[in-house]
Amino acid sequence: MQDPSFIEEAQLIDVREPEEVAQASLPGFKILPLRQFGTWGSVITDEFDPQKDTYVLCHHGVRSLQVAKWLQTQGFKRVFNVSGGIHAYALKADPSIPTY
């Protein structure tokens, strides 16, 4: 079983749009909307450490998978897509998070 403190060391990226984040969110995630990729894509390695565990989240796991794959091409070694996104997380782990 993984030590629950792993999340304190991890980098957390949410690629949903601001209006989606306003409906449901998880603490600790940096909001980097995929639609604004052009503004943050070129500086991602300035803000995040490619050697650290990096978790990427969206609504259902599709956009986050795209970003996770792209991060790997940028030298990120330990990238994890939150499969099923915040929707699955709300259903399986925390029903207090609204679904939309």
Closest by CA to 25, choosing from 16, 36, 37, is: 16
**Catalytic-labelled residue, pool 13, 58, 71, 82:** 58
Residues 11, 89: Cα–Cα separation, whole Å: 17
The three-point CA angle 46-73-28 to 5° equals: 50
Q: Is 58 a catalytic residue?
A: yes
Q: Which residue numbers are catalytic?
A: 58
